[in-house]
Structure 1
Amino acid sequence: MIDVEALVVTWLAGRLGGIRVLAELPARFEEALPVVQVTCLPGPKLARPWNDRRPLLWRPRVDLDTYATTRAAATDLASTVSDHLIQLAGQGNQWGQVADVEEPAGPAWRPDYNPSVRRSGLTVELTIRAD
């Protein structure tokens, strides 16, 4: 199966002009904003073929948090991330390809416990077809 976090991190990092995109926030990340965090959430594996145990379709959800110094900057970055993720359809590797990208929860303000950052985020659902 595709490493979804790695795929999304690599895709966004190549399109966000030097903004850090990562799966795990490092200590004191707020000292170098903006930052995008990518977290893969569980999703169903569907349409198993009759002669193989590998699923034909997988629908992982990916949660994205954008961190910046202002609420407006975090929200703008979340919108930019959303725009780039729609273009992920058709990408993949020898293990599968992203067939579709849906956004069940679009860019929205998300409060954060860290008073040094402002956070916005979104959730996308990828449909991955096994090759």
Structure 2
Amino acid sequence: MAAVGSVDVEVLLIGWLQGQLGDGAVVRDELDNDLLEELPTVQVERVGGTDDGLRLDRALVDIDVYAATRGDAVELAAIIRGLMLRLPGSTVGGAVIGRVRTESAPVSRPYENTGLRRVGGTYSLYLHPVS
């Protein structure tokens, strides 16, 4: 649960990305055993960050794309990066997004299942609740 005066950035991004991507991908926080049946899948996970102790949050977020081919994963990861970089100045899911920065551009990442490919990037988001 998010602390008072903060926004759960995973919930915010999952809902927003699912809306942007529509039926083109499944967006979630955790992977499950049906991953091969749900490709492409986008996993959103907060991996760190800082805050000011009041309202401003700097969330560090990994966004991984799982797809049947490397090309499909690379293409979807690039689309997501473009969407993320257009977020500053937006109000999304009860939060004002002040800044988005690519910390690590999408790259191929290892995954133990050789039946699919994983491409992921890391982003920092500066955000605060609307009120």
Quickly name the TM-score band, shorter chain normalised.
Answer: 0.7 to 0.9
Equivalent residue number for residue 42 of structure 2: 36
Structure 2: gaps spanning 5 or more residues: 1-5
- Which deviates more from structure 2 when the two are superposed, residues 83-92 or residues 70-79? 83-92
**Is 110-119 or 84-93 further displaced after alignment?**
84-93
**Could you tell me how far 1:15 is from its partner in structure 2?**
0.9
1:91 corresponds in structure 2 to: 91
Alpha-carbon spacing, 1:29–1:67, altered in 2? closer, same or farther (3 Å):
same
Supply the AA of the counterpart residue of 2:91.
Answer: Q
> TM-score scaled by structure 1?
0.86
1:75 maps to 74
Runs of 4+ aligned structure 1 residues displaced above 3 Å come to none
Identity between Structure 1 and Structure 2 (%): 34
- Provide the aligned C-alpha RMSD in A: 1.5
Work out the number of aligned pairs and report it. 123
Q: 1:72 to 1:93 in 2, by over 3 A?
A: closer
Query: Following superposition of structure 1 onto structure 2, how do residues 48-59 of structure 1 map, counting pairs within 5 Å?
Result: 54-59=53-58
Q: CA deviation at 1:36?
A: 0.3
SS in structure 2 at match of 1:17: helix
More helix by share: 2
- 1:2 aligned to 2:7? yes
TM-superposition CA deviations, 1:66-98 (whole Å, max 9, x none) = 01000111111110110111222222455x421
Question: Quick check: 1:122 aligned with 2:121?
Answer: yes
**Consecutive unaligned residues in structure 1, runs of 5 or more:** 47-53
Change (3 A) 1:56 1:32: closer
Is the aligned partner of 1:24 residue 2:24? no
SS at match of 1:26: coil
Partner letter of residue 22 of structure 1?
Answer: R
Q: Distance in 1 between matches of 2:54 and 2:101?
A: 20
Q: Secondary structure at the match of 1:12?
A: helix
- Does the 8 Å CA contact 1:11/1:88 hold for their aligned counterparts? no
Shift of 1:41: 1.7
